[in-house]
Each structure stands twice: as structure tokens, then as C-alpha cells.
Amino acid sequence: MLTKIIRRTMATEVKRVPIPRRGVDYRGKVVLAPMVRSGELPSRLLALKYGADLVWGPETVDYSMIGTSRRFDEESKTVEWFRVSSHGQKDPPPDAKESIIYRLHPELEKDKLIFQIGTADPDRAVEAARLVAADVAGIDVNAGCPKPFSTSGGMGAALLQTPDKLCAILEALVKNITPEYEIGISVKIRLLDTATETEALVRRLCATGITGLTIHCRTTPMRPRERAIRGQLRMIAEVCHEFGVACLVNGDVEGRDHGLQLAEEFGADGAMIAVAAEKNPSCFRSKADGGMAPWEEVVEEYVRTAIAVDNRFGNTKFLLSNMIPGRSKFYQPVNQSKTYKSICEALSLNDHLEAAIAVDKRRGLDQPLQGKAAKKAAAKALAAANAQSPKPEQGKDQKRKRKMSDSRPAKQVKASEPTPVAAAL
């Protein structure tokens, strides 16, 4: 199938925008979609292991990147962009909480990772892109996410209603990022209400100098459960080819073979997979190379990878809840796990126990969590001890300690099986 696409391209002598030296050509590629939570580092590495040609990271808002610092973590061999919570202080204390905004593995994904930015301003887009451009293979602008957290700030699908702003953002990135870092700029959009409107927008976007365009074959109001609309796809691909821009199809793509089949059928250059990859990333493996792997194999590989890169535990549990069938006997034990060690025990992954215990210790997951009853008993014991103490200022101290003991952490909600969020972007 891939050979057919390449031959078709050569036969028709399709115009091509030059690909920068460090950039990548999207033609003939089947790639991982940008997904909140489901596009974090271990998910991307697993997709690459099973055959994804490129991987998109989750949408990262420009404001969150600006002001971060970059460092290399020797333990996990990853590059991290982080910020320290200052709470308005000029010099935050040494024990101030850190927030990791973005992570990548320079050895395993640097030349295959596309950084997707959420932005509504050309200058901020350039400022944020500069921070990560030297470490990735391309910058993609999110102009398709319909979620309020994105559209309320004028980002994501809101940009489809402000084409002047969207084009200005792309032009600023092409002008400032491509020459300096030698990577391409691309955009991901959704369908507009009519084919005429979509065509007009695609023409404007392709004229900005981008190297690739991904079309999610749904309109902004459509939800993932609604069937993708492919009636405009051939027209979009043809417009892209007029400008030499690669076109990827997204929406209800089930796997590598299906993606290449769609590209062949509608004249696109490749495909992007979201929901199917969230459930089982071995969908990137062609049938000729073995096809889909059993979920048990994929889950073990995911756990191993998550431990190796010291992934956030909550994110790991979220992905496992999508990969493990709800009716499986393993689902509830994993869903109730509080540590990597307990996950490995629930899945009988004894070979990974030692590494899991080490990560638990590093992240502080090995510390016992007190339930409500235990916390209440401890508070009563403390109050009783204070009542018997002959120290001066007794009443004052007791009142203060009671107040402190009542400042309990927020109630922990038992996790339930989440619904896929992949196709929202």
C-alpha cells in the first residue's frame, strides 16, 4: 500500500514544499495523533515500538511553556521542561513544588516527535516554540480541539473562526522557527460547515509556507462517537498538493493498513490514528508484520516503558484503564492500585517488580496513605494528649493543633473507567 502511494506521487509529479534539513516529510506516514493524557512519553514510545512513523505530543499551551527551564534527567534519560511554583514570590523557597510541563526522550524520539502547540497569538507561539524547537522534528499548530479549555482562550477549533489570526500564527512560525531550527511547521484542522468554506481555508493555510496539514474529518460540534465525514477529503488533499503540502487524514482510522488504504482511496499522503492507538498502540503494526498484538502483551510493554521513564503514576493508570478490557479480571485490581508495585503484582509482572519499587520510592508512592478513619483517630489521639499536657498556653496550642489536623487533603475519588478523549483534538 505504501509503495502504491509513493508510485502515484512520482507518476503525477506532485509539487512538494521543500522539507527543511532537520524536518520530516509527512508523505507515506502513519502517525500518532496529539492526545491529552494519551500522548505522554510512554504512549509515544510504545507507538514507535509498534511501527508509528511519527508521534505527536499532547497539545501544550504557549503560556505553560513560556518561562520554563530545560534540564536532562539522568535517571530516566529524558529531557524535561519544568517550572517552579512561585506564588508571586520573587525568590521561591528551595522546597517549592515543581511542575513538569513537557518531556521527551532525545535518543528514542527526537527525529520523530512533532510538538503541538496551543496558541492564539503569533508572538507567543514563536516564543514558546523556540524553547523546544531544537529538540523536536516539527511544530504543529492545534486548530481543531473543540474543548472549552482550548477554545475559551481563542485556541484550537476557535482559530477556524479567525482565519486571519491562524494564518498570522503559521506565518510567524514559518518565518522565525523554520530558518533558525530547520524544521517544518504544520497545522491540524477540522472541517468547516461547507466544502466551499473548507477549501477557502485550506488554500489560505497552505499559502503560509507550511509543510503539512492534517484534516480531522469531523466538524467542530461533532463528537468522537459520530462517524467521520470523508466527502471533502479528496478535495482537501488536491488543494494541499497544488501547494506542495502533505495531507494526513484523521478520524476513525483503525490501524496502519486502514490508514494507508484511506490515503490511497482519497488521494491523501498518510494517516493519523487517535482512539485506536489509545486502546492498543500495536495498531501501527501492519498485518504483514504481525498485526495487532494481544492486549496482555501491550499492557506489559506499556508498564515496562512507563516505569523506565518514570511516568506520572496517575497518567499510567489512566492509560491502563483504556488498554485493559473492562470485563477482564485484571481491570479492577489495576484500577485500585496505588503504586507501580501493586500494578505489577496485580498483573503478575514479577520481572518488573524491582524497577517498580525503585520508581515508587523515587516518587514517594511507597509511603502508606491514611484513610479517613485513621486520620480521625490520629486527630483524637493528638487532642487527648494535648488535653493532658500541663504546658502553659495549653488551650491555645490545642486549638491550633485541632485546626491543623482538620485541614485534610481533598477527598480522593475512586477512579472509574474513563472514556477516550483522543478524537477531541
> Are 162 and 199 contained in the same domain?
yes
Count of domains in the chain?
3
At residue 85, the pLDDT reads 79
* 416 within a domain of the structure (yes/no): no
* 9 within a domain of the structure (yes/no): yes
* 420 within a domain of the structure (yes/no): no
* 417 within a domain of the structure (yes/no): no
> Are 313 and 380 contained in the same domain?
no
> Are 268 and 384 contained in the same domain?
no
> Are 387 and 325 contained in the same domain?
no
* Beta carbons of 73 and 89 less than 8 angstroms apart: no
Look up the pTM and report it.
0.84
Tell which phi-psi region holds residue 28, choosing left (phi > 0), alpha (psi between -120 and 50) or beta. left
> Are 244 and 323 contained in the same domain?
no
* 85 within a domain of the structure (yes/no): yes
> Are 180 and 248 contained in the same domain?
yes
Domain residues for 401?
Answer: 372-405
> Are 108 and 173 contained in the same domain?
yes
> Are 261 and 362 contained in the same domain?
no
How far, in Å, are 155, 160, 166, 174, 212 from residue 169 at the CA level? 11, 12, 5, 9, 15
Q: Chain-centre distance of CA 351, in angstroms? A: 28
Which of 293, 321, 350 marks a domain boundary? 293
Compute mean pLDDT per 10 residues along the chain, 425 residues long, and list them: 54 78 98 97 98 98 97 96 79 80 96 98 99 99 94 96 99 99 99 98 99 98 95 98 98 98 98 98 98 98 98 97 97 97 98 97 82 56 56 46 45 43 45
> Are 286 and 339 contained in the same domain?
no
* 209 within a domain of the structure (yes/no): yes
* d(C-alpha 289, C-alpha 28), whole Å: 17
Nearest of 311, 261, 251 to residue 105 by alpha carbon? 311
Which of 293, 310, 329 marks a domain boundary? 293
> Are 322 and 215 contained in the same domain?
no
CATH of residue 241 = 3.20.20.70
* d(C-alpha 85, C-alpha 95), whole Å: 10
* 412 within a domain of the structure (yes/no): no
> Are 363 and 385 contained in the same domain?
no
Which of 293, 325, 354 marks a domain boundary? 293
CB-based burial label for 100 (10 Å; 0-12, 13-18, 19+)? middle
Residue positions annotated with a catalytic role: 145
> Are 199 and 56 contained in the same domain?
yes
